[in-house]
Amino acid sequence: MGPIETVPILVIRDGKDTRIALSEAVVGDVIRLKAGDQVPADGICIGNMRNDGRKLFIGGKTSIQDVWKAFLGILATPVAIASGAIPEGLTLACALTIAYSTKKMIADQALVRSLSACEAMASATVICTNKEGVLTENSLQVRQFWLRDEYFGSCAFSSFVPEILDLLREAIALNTTKIPPGSSFQHIEDQIQNAIFGWAIKSMKMDVQQLKERCTLVHAESFNSEYQGRVLIRRNADSRVHIHHKGTPEAILAMCSRYYEETGDVKDINDDTRAVLQERITKMKMDGLHCVGFAYRSVTAEHQIDHEGHFHPKLKEDDSILLAFVGLKAPCREQARKAVMDCQDAGVSIKIITKDDIHTARASAIDCGIIDPHNTSTGEVIEGTTFQEYTEDERLEKVDNIRVIASASTLDKLLMVRCLQKKGHVVAVTGDRVEDAEALREANVGLSLGNQGTDAARNSSDIVIMDDNFASIARVLSWGRTTYNNVQIFTQYQLTATIASLVIDFVTAISASLPVTINIVTGISAGNVPYAMLQNGNRIVLIINKGNTARLTDVILIRIINGEHNRHRHVDD
């Protein structure tokens, strides 16, 4: 007897389980098998049994299987409906139009870091932007030079006595205190120093090398945001020390008790003269000028100077002599004004948040077309401190009317973004400093500046504007609207084809025809025709002028009912 014939098996005989050898099995035995057993002989499966711990069900399903099958049916129904509701090719259409737009945006000086920013930019209602280098050129030019209350052009310095010219050249050439790296004032103050320096070389015939050989630097103070630096100079020919101050015109005027005339005469500053000078400062700022004041004081060697630059107590800092006021201006970018108008026509509000004082900021906003010069409404231009002093309810009430925040801090930009979002706006904000990172992350679309921006600002942004130009921001808005409109066009086509297919299928079903052909044609065209209708940047003007739309509007239905004739005629015109 072989080993396989001695294998024990379990059979049911007389209603009882009996274990026998395989060789003892006869025809008619019922063999009980469990998981893992080998079938010992040919036979017929007469049923199966499952023990659930309570009852034995022979040849049927358990209640758990019934419940599980019902649950799968309930789960599969909404999944099937949701899958069927997604238009064929919609995912591909979205991917294609976003990929095409982002590629084209690189040529328009915009690097997209987050694809979702394209859709968010299409819905933008407010753009909060810097002024310096975005709306204006990234360089300053000297526009005005005032000695007391006398204006002098670039060719008028021949009437100056040599003493005043030498003092002015010293003040400009040698009082160039380096701004600490990373300072929020570094970029603008470097521009101011470079602009005045180049202007003096050209207009005043300043010889920097000769001045350095003739004068010895005694001490230079570190940068101060109010005074913008002070330097001590001792001429080699005598023992007198020249103390030069450079800073904001208000701070310089406050420390001066006398002033120079072009003839070299020194006059006292009385109350009337001080009022005239203060009025001149205000007028320069209202013209949109960055103002810098220069003052001078000469002391003898008896006024000892320690290693920290401190003088004899009898030497008063408010006894300096006023030299001049210089006004600089960054011209508005050539394309900025048109870009602002395009955004406003598209229903997007532009708001400036700048460190400039309120007069300079207002003048720049007028130059760029953000504020109407004939509009006398109050509240359009405010200072950052005023904005922070508002209560939460006051900020929410006034934020829509505000066009410019002057003397602003990083907190003002963040507060502006949050207030606008609470009012239901979709906000895009520009930033270039480390402190702007939080506002860039908080906004719906963060726009960092590629040239003057920091790495922290770029890493926190969604889109990098590589040329720092507001015109590029307007083009980003256009591409966002174009991307959105392309998806609308595809949805319109898909909805039209679906409705037509349903009608035709219904009619053909009643007439006993086969709707297979029309379904095939619809399925093929739904995957190809819409992509031929997608728009590119050639229709930017039309797209941007359409204004903001929700994700699902009546535009699609109106187009379906009225057709595309009028729209195409408008484009051709």
Average pLDDT for runs of 10 along the chain of length 573: 70 82 81 78 73 50 72 75 65 80 88 86 92 84 80 66 85 70 57 84 84 79 61 73 86 89 86 91 86 86 57 62 89 88 91 89 89 76 92 92 91 93 94 91 92 88 92 91 83 77 70 54 50 47 45 49 46 41
For residue 519, what pLDDT is reported? Answer: 53
In a domain, 287, yes or no: yes
Per-residue pLDDT, 428: 95
What is the amino acid identity at position 410? T
pLDDT for 239: 73
Residues 6+ apart with CB under 8 A from 277: 148, 149, 253, 259, 269, 322
Residue 119 belongs to domain with CATH number: 3.40.50.1000
Residue range(s) defining the domain that contains residue 325: 141-329
**Same domain, yes or no: 453 and 411:** yes
Do 276 and 185 sit in the same domain of this protein?
A: yes
Residue finishing a domain among 303, 329, 355: 329
Residues 412, 451 within the same domain: yes
pLDDT score for 245: 86
DSSP string, 210-262: HHHHHEEEEEEPPP-TTT--EEEEEETTSS-EEEEEEE-HHHHHHTEEEEE-T
Same domain (yes/no): 352, 469: yes
User: Are residues 252 and 186 part of one domain?
Assistant: yes
| Residues 40 and 56: beta-carbon distance below 8 Å | no
In a domain, 246, yes or no: yes
**Containing H/E element for 293?**
strand 290-299
Other CB atoms within 10 Å distance of the CB of residue 408: 25
Are the beta carbons of 175 and 167 closer than 8 angstroms? no
Pair (277, 150) in one structural domain: yes
Distances (CA, A) of 317 to 261, 275, 563: 21, 20, 78
Residues 6+ apart with CB under 8 A from 508: 514, 515, 518
pLDDT of residue 303: 59
Residue 339 and residue 464 in one domain: yes
Please tell me whether residues 240 and 309 are part of one structural domain. yes
12 DSSP β-pair partners: 17, 30
Nearest to 556 by CA among 478, 475, 486: 486
The set of residues, in sequence order, having a beta carbon less than 8 Å from that of 539 and lying 6+ positions away, is 482, 571
Residues 42 and 96 in one domain: no
The per-residue pLDDT for 171 is 86
Say if residues 44 and 30 touch (Cβ distance below 8 Å): no
Q: What is the pLDDT of residue 440?
A: 94
Do 183 and 246 fall within a single domain? yes
Report yes or no on 380 lying in a domain. Answer: yes
In single-letter form, the type of residue at position 476 comes to: V
Q: Is residue 75 situated within a structural domain?
A: no
pLDDT score recorded for residue 188: 63
**Spatial contact of 322 and 256, defined as CB atoms under 8 Å apart:** yes
Contact 269, 148 (CB under 8 A): no
State whether 468 and 357 are in the same domain: yes
Joined tokens for residue 535: 């728009």
Number of structural domains (the chain) is 4
The residue from 296, 329, 362 where one domain ends is: 329
Residues 446, 365: one domain? yes
Does 464 fall in a domain?
yes
Give the pLDDT score at 118: 83
Note whether residue 522 is domain-resident.
yes
